[in-house]
Amino acid sequence: MIPFFRNAATASTLCAIVLSSALAPALAQDRRVPTSPTEMKLSYAPIVQRVQPAVVNVYAAKTVQNRNPLLDDPVFRRFFGGQGMQPEQMQRSLGSGVMVDASGLVVTNNHVIEGADQVKVSLADKREFEAEIVLKDSRTDLAVLRIKDGKEKFPTLDFSNSDDLLVGDVVLAIGNPFGVGQTVTHGIVSALARTQVGITDYQFFIQTDAAINPGNSGGALVDMTGKLIGVNTAIFSRSGGSQGIGFAIPANMVRVVVASAKSGGKAVKRPWLGARLQNITPEIAETLGLKTPSGALVVNVTANSPAAKAGLKVSDLVTAIDGQAIEDPNAFEYRFATRPLGGTAQLDAQRSGKPVKLTVALEAAPDTGRDEITLTARSPFQGAKIANISPAVADELRLDSNTEGVVITELTDSATAAGVGFQKGDLIIAVNGTKIGKTSDLDKVTRDGARLWRIVVVRGGQQINVTLGG
């Protein structure tokens, strides 16, 4: 029988005595003097010593020409001559990278080297090498570099299967935060399959509390076997420094990009589904009679696509791929994109409340008729790279595959087109009353030398009418 105490102080004292007596043996077991020199030396050092040589610092630089926009006016140029020109400036960025092939292939973040004229790689032993950009993939924010004049076998990291990770696993982050030099931090896997981060097209990140700061981008996240489980890419921060929420691109996605670079490709080839998927909201889940809002709802299927040939239909609910559960469209896109080309994938779906199994061919999107060109004539489009919309282009830019017209696929910061406000992914529908159906139409219109430009653009599904002076 537990006694009832009227005096709270007496009760607290007695409870403390009882608890102390009960916990004493347990605390004695938890806290003990190390019994051997080996126990005193428990450390992550052996892992760090093994992986550190394969993690590099990446330095990128690009030349920026500061110019007065008034110099575009011939009258202004004639009046002021060469005055008004400003000297070039060198913009520099720093990040980290991981050696993934002994020949000198380095994987890093695309945003670290984007637009760079010069790229250097510094090894852990302080040696520096010039590097060339082999492949850039903005969809994953990954890039692959190759060390120039490398005449040795470089240390590398092996890929781990990032699908085997569990929340709570211990991890190490290695990189070059704030440019102070190679730094190691440790933490755990805080979460998996983060899909609402908004960093890249493929939203499926490893979250960790290992300290990651500016400069860590492109660095390694490794497990306790010393294998690469992810490439650190971003942090959530209100101050600019680490607040214990960092994100890494899973190794299984990194592996796909590196494989494309090794094969000599200039772009990453991924499987193409040919269907548009939608999140399941609580309201949709209730309508479909689902217990939880999970899965990816098919809202569009492109004719003659792998999805169409497999028998996928509008309103099907995709719940798994090759036995792996699908929580939302982002999870599906990641799982599908990391499948190797040439084989098949098994989809589990629900159709009118009944389960169906479908076999989808893993093949790349057709890219015939892209006809990509860079516009050079003096116009608001000068410097923009444009392409006809093929299935591959639509897939890359996340456009509806039924879209017609010409799309801007690339812009440099110095391009006139970027200066007037055009963006990657803009659809150019008409210019000065002329319908733009293919890249040659827009190229021809820009060479007319008009003084006034009336342009119809579609951005994010919204039509915009723009008028610009020549």
Residue list for the binding site: 111, 141, 215-217
Beta bridge partners, 405, equal: none
CA distances from 248 to 35, 145, 191, 194, 253 (A): 39, 19, 11, 10, 11
Report whether 140 contacts 249 (CB < 8 A).
yes
Unique residue bearing structure tokens 């116009």: 379
Residues annotated in a binding site for substrate: 111, 141, 215-217
The one catalytic residue in 160, 162, 190, 217 is 217
* Catalytic position from the list 93, 96, 137, 141: 141
Catalytic residue among 93, 96, 111, 209: 111
d(CA 312, CA 318): 9
Catalytic site includes residue 186: no
Q: Which residues contact 234 (CB under 8 A, 6 or more apart)?
A: 197, 199, 217, 246, 247
d(CA 69, CA 84): 10
Residue 443 among the catalytic residues: no
Query: What residues does 298 pair with on adjacent strands?
Result: 277
Angle, helix 251-262 to helix 329-337, in steps of 10 degrees: 40
Secondary structure letter of residue 87 according to DSSP: -
Please report the beta strands in 153-244, taking only residues with DSSP state E, as ranges in sequence order: 170-175, 183-194, 205-208, 220-222, 228-235
Distance separating alpha carbons of residues 140 and 253, to the nearest angstrom:
8
The sign one gets for the Cα dihedral 331, 333, 334, 340 is positive
Q: Annotated catalytic sites, by residue?
A: 111, 141, 217
